[in-house]
Chains A and B, each alone.
Chain A
Amino acid sequence: MSVASANELVTTLTNNYGTPSGLIDMPTAEMAPDAQLSTTVSYFDGFSKTTLSFQVAPWLTGSFRYAGTRDLTPQFDTFYDRSFDLRFRLFEETDYSPAIAVGLQDFLGTGVLGGEYVVATKSVGTRLRLTAGLGWGRFGSNNSIGGFGTRAPFNFAGVGTGGDVSISNWFKGDIGLFGGFSYEVSDKLSFALEYSSDSYDTERRAGIFEQSTAINASLTYRIAQDASVRAFILHGEEIGVNFTIGINPRGMPVPGGLEAAPLPVAVRDPDAARDLGWADQPAARAQVAKSLDETLALDEIDLIRLRLEGRAAYVGIQNETYDRTSQALGRTVRAMTRALPASVEEFHVTLYTKGIPASTVSFSRTDIERLEHKASDEALAAATFRDSLRFGNLPEPLPGKFPRYGWSIYPFTRVSLFDPDEPLRFDVALRLQGQAELGRGWMARAATSVKLFGNLDQSNRFSNSRIPRVRSDAARYAQSDAPRVDWLTLSKYQRFAPDYYGRITFGYLEQMYAGVSTEVLWRPVDSRIAIGAELNYVRPRDFDGDFGLRDSNTLSGTIPDFNGHASVYYDFGGGYHAQVDAGRYLAGDWGVTIGFDREFANGWKVGAFATKTDVSAQDFGEGSFDKGIRITAPISWLFGKPTQQAPTAVIRPLTRDGGARVNVTGRLYETIRNSHERDTVASWGKFWR
Chain B
Amino acid sequence: MIAASLPRLSLLVCAMILAACSNQRSSENVFTVTKRVIEQRRVKPVAPDPQVVQAVAVDALNNTTGPVLLYQLEDRKAVAILRPIAQNGAYQTWASYGSSERLSATTLNGVLVSTRGLGNDLMSSRVEPLLEVVARREDGVATIQQRYLDGENQIVNLKSDCKITRGESETLASVSGSVPAVRMTAECWQADRSVENFYLVDANGVVVQSRHWAGPTMGYSTIQRLR
User: What CA separation (Å) do A225 and B175 show in the bound complex?
Assistant: 49
Set of chain B residues within 8 Å of A321, measured between Cβ atoms:
25-26
Give residues in B with beta carbon < 8 Å to A.
1, 5, 8-9, 11-12, 15-16, 18-19, 21-31, 33, 36-37, 40, 85-89, 91, 93, 95, 101-104, 106, 108, 113-114, 116-121, 123-124, 147-155, 157, 217
Set of chain A residues within 8 Å of B16, measured between Cβ atoms:
411
A186 located at the interface, meaning its Cβ lies under 8 Å from any Cβ of chain B in the complex: no
Does A373 contact B114, Cβ atoms closer than 8 Å?
Answer: yes
Further pairs besides A375-B157, A409-B21: 19, Cβ < 8 Å? A250-B151, A252-B151, A258-B117, A260-B102, A264-B85, A375-B123, A375-B155, A411-B31, A430-B12, A452-B9, A453-B5, A453-B8, A602-B151, A641-B26, A643-B26, A645-B26, A645-B27, A683-B153, A689-B123
User: What CA separation (Å) do A255 and B216 show in the bound complex?
Assistant: 11
User: What CA separation (Å) do A601 and B149 show in the bound complex?
Assistant: 12
Within 8 A of B (CB), among A394-427: 405-413
Does B40 contact A253, Cβ atoms closer than 8 Å?
Answer: yes
Which of B15, B30, B123 contacts A409, CB < 8 Å? B15
Does B154 contact A266, Cβ atoms closer than 8 Å?
Answer: no
User: What CA separation (Å) do A372 and B89 show in the bound complex?
Assistant: 10
Q: Which one of A372, A600, A641, A642 has the greatest number of beta carbons of chain B within 10 Å? A: A372
> Per-residue 0/1 for A630-646: is the Cβ within 8 Å of any B Cβ (1 yes, 0 no)?
00000100111111110
> Per-residue 0/1 for A611-631: is the Cβ within 8 Å of any B Cβ (1 yes, 0 no)?
000000000000000000000
User: What CA separation (Å) do A259 and B103 show in the bound complex?
Assistant: 9
**How distant is B34 from chain A, measured CB to nearest CB, in Å?**
10
Which of A254, A377, A408 contacts B120, CB < 8 Å? A254
Does B21 contact A411, Cβ atoms closer than 8 Å?
Answer: no
Does B120 contact A369, Cβ atoms closer than 8 Å?
Answer: no
Set of chain A residues within 8 Å of B113, measured between Cβ atoms:
373
Question: Given A255-B150, A324-B153, A410-B15, A451 and B28 touching (CB < 8 A)?
Answer: no
Set of chain A residues within 8 Å of B19, measured between Cβ atoms:
410-411
- The closest CB in chain B to the CB of A323 belongs to B26
- The closest CB in chain A to the CB of B94 belongs to A264
Set of chain B residues within 8 Å of A523, measured between Cβ atoms:
none
User: What CA separation (Å) do A453 and B3 show in the bound complex?
Assistant: 11
Does B117 contact A261, Cβ atoms closer than 8 Å?
Answer: yes
A557 located at the interface, meaning its Cβ lies under 8 Å from any Cβ of chain B in the complex: no
User: What CA separation (Å) do A252 and B106 show in the bound complex?
Assistant: 25
Does B153 contact A686, Cβ atoms closer than 8 Å?
Answer: yes
Q: How many residues of A contact B (CB 8 A)?
A: 66
- The closest CB in chain A to the CB of B155 belongs to A685
Question: Given A260-B117, A688-B123, A411 and B12 touching (CB < 8 A)?
Answer: yes
**How distant is B87 from chain A, measured CB to nearest CB, in Å?**
7
Does B117 contact A259, Cβ atoms closer than 8 Å?
Answer: yes
22 of the cross-chain contacts (CB-CB < 8 Å) are A1-B151, A251-B151, A252-B151, A256-B150, A256-B153, A260-B117, A261-B103, A267-B87, A372-B88, A406-B22, A408-B22, A408-B23, A409-B15, A409-B22, A410-B22, A411-B31, A412-B29, A430-B11, A452-B15, A601-B152, A639-B37, A641-B26
Set of chain A residues within 8 Å of B91, measured between Cβ atoms:
372-373
Set of chain A residues within 8 Å of B95, measured between Cβ atoms:
261
A320 located at the interface, meaning its Cβ lies under 8 Å from any Cβ of chain B in the complex: yes
> Per-residue 0/1 for A318-336: is the Cβ within 8 Å of any B Cβ (1 yes, 0 no)?
0011001000000000000
Question: Given A256-B150, A688-B124, A267 and B88 touching (CB < 8 A)?
Answer: yes
**How distant is A440 from chain B, measured CB to nearest CB, in Å?**
21
A265 located at the interface, meaning its Cβ lies under 8 Å from any Cβ of chain B in the complex: yes
User: What CA separation (Å) do A249 and B114 show in the bound complex?
Assistant: 26
**How distant is A631 from chain B, measured CB to nearest CB, in Å?**
15
Does A405 contact B29, Cβ atoms closer than 8 Å?
Answer: no
Q: Which one of A451, A642, A689 has the greatest number of beta carbons of chain B within 10 Å? A: A689
- The closest CB in chain A to the CB of B18 belongs to A409
Which of A248, A324, A411, A600 contacts B29, CB < 8 Å? A411
Does B93 contact A256, Cβ atoms closer than 8 Å?
Answer: no
- The closest CB in chain A to the CB of B7 belongs to A452
Does A375 contact B124, Cβ atoms closer than 8 Å?
Answer: yes
User: What CA separation (Å) do A406 and B22 show in the bound complex?
Assistant: 8
A300 located at the interface, meaning its Cβ lies under 8 Å from any Cβ of chain B in the complex: yes
Does B147 contact A375, Cβ atoms closer than 8 Å?
Answer: yes
Set of chain B residues within 8 Å of A405, measured between Cβ atoms:
23
A202 located at the interface, meaning its Cβ lies under 8 Å from any Cβ of chain B in the complex: no
A227 located at the interface, meaning its Cβ lies under 8 Å from any Cβ of chain B in the complex: no
A262 located at the interface, meaning its Cβ lies under 8 Å from any Cβ of chain B in the complex: yes
- The closest CB in chain B to the CB of A248 belongs to B151
Does B151 contact A408, Cβ atoms closer than 8 Å?
Answer: no
User: What CA separation (Å) do A602 and B150 show in the bound complex?
Assistant: 10
User: What CA separation (Å) do A253 and B43 show in the bound complex?
Assistant: 13
Set of chain B residues within 8 Å of A475, measured between Cβ atoms:
none
A241 located at the interface, meaning its Cβ lies under 8 Å from any Cβ of chain B in the complex: no
Does B152 contact A600, Cβ atoms closer than 8 Å?
Answer: yes
Set of chain B residues within 8 Å of A251, measured between Cβ atoms:
151
Does A408 contact B27, Cβ atoms closer than 8 Å?
Answer: yes
> Per-residue 0/1 for A439-456: is the Cβ within 8 Å of any B Cβ (1 yes, 0 no)?
000000000001111000
> Per-residue 0/1 for A356-395: is the Cβ within 8 Å of any B Cβ (1 yes, 0 no)?
0000000000000100111111000000000000000000
8 nearest A-B pairs in the assembled complex, by CB-CB distance = A256-B149, A408-B22, A252-B151, A261-B117, A261-B116, A260-B102, A643-B26, A264-B86
Set of chain A residues within 8 Å of B108, measured between Cβ atoms:
373
Which of A255, A451, A641 contacts B148, CB < 8 Å? A255
User: What CA separation (Å) do A638 and B36 show in the bound complex?
Assistant: 9
Set of chain B residues within 8 Å of A641, measured between Cβ atoms:
26
Does A601 contact B24, Cβ atoms closer than 8 Å?
Answer: no
User: What CA separation (Å) do A93 and B205 show in the bound complex?
Assistant: 54
- The closest CB in chain A to the CB of B29 belongs to A410
A535 located at the interface, meaning its Cβ lies under 8 Å from any Cβ of chain B in the complex: no
A428 located at the interface, meaning its Cβ lies under 8 Å from any Cβ of chain B in the complex: yes
Does A689 contact B121, Cβ atoms closer than 8 Å?
Answer: yes
**How distant is B19 from chain A, measured CB to nearest CB, in Å?**
7
User: What CA separation (Å) do A257 and B155 show in the bound complex?
Assistant: 13
User: What CA separation (Å) do A248 and B152 show in the bound complex?
Assistant: 11
User: What CA separation (Å) do A688 and B88 show in the bound complex?
Assistant: 14
Set of chain B residues within 8 Å of A601, measured between Cβ atoms:
152-154
**How distant is B114 from chain A, measured CB to nearest CB, in Å?**
7
Which of B26, B36, B154 contacts A685, CB < 8 Å? B154
- The closest CB in chain A to the CB of B15 belongs to A411
Does B33 contact A452, Cβ atoms closer than 8 Å?
Answer: no
- The closest CB in chain B to the CB of A413 belongs to B30
Within 8 A of B (CB), among A637-689: 638-645, 682-686, 688-689
Does A264 contact B9, Cβ atoms closer than 8 Å?
Answer: no
Does B88 contact A408, Cβ atoms closer than 8 Å?
Answer: no
- The closest CB in chain A to the CB of B86 belongs to A264
Does B33 contact A635, Cβ atoms closer than 8 Å?
Answer: yes
- The closest CB in chain B to the CB of A451 belongs to B8
**How distant is B60 from chain A, measured CB to nearest CB, in Å?**
19
Set of chain A residues within 8 Å of B104, measured between Cβ atoms:
261-262, 264
User: What CA separation (Å) do A262 and B103 show in the bound complex?
Assistant: 8
**How distant is B24 from chain A, measured CB to nearest CB, in Å?**
4
User: What CA separation (Å) do A601 and B21 show in the bound complex?
Assistant: 30
Does A254 contact B28, Cβ atoms closer than 8 Å?
Answer: no
Set of chain B residues within 8 Å of A689, measured between Cβ atoms:
116, 121, 123, 149
Q: Which one of B86, B91, B101 has the greatest number of beta carbons of chain A within 10 Å? A: B86
User: What CA separation (Å) do A324 and B124 show in the bound complex?
Assistant: 19
**How distant is A285 from chain B, measured CB to nearest CB, in Å?**
25
Question: Given A411-B16, A452-B8, A602 and B152 touching (CB < 8 A)?
Answer: yes
- The closest CB in chain B to the CB of A259 belongs to B117
Set of chain B residues within 8 Å of A645, measured between Cβ atoms:
26-28
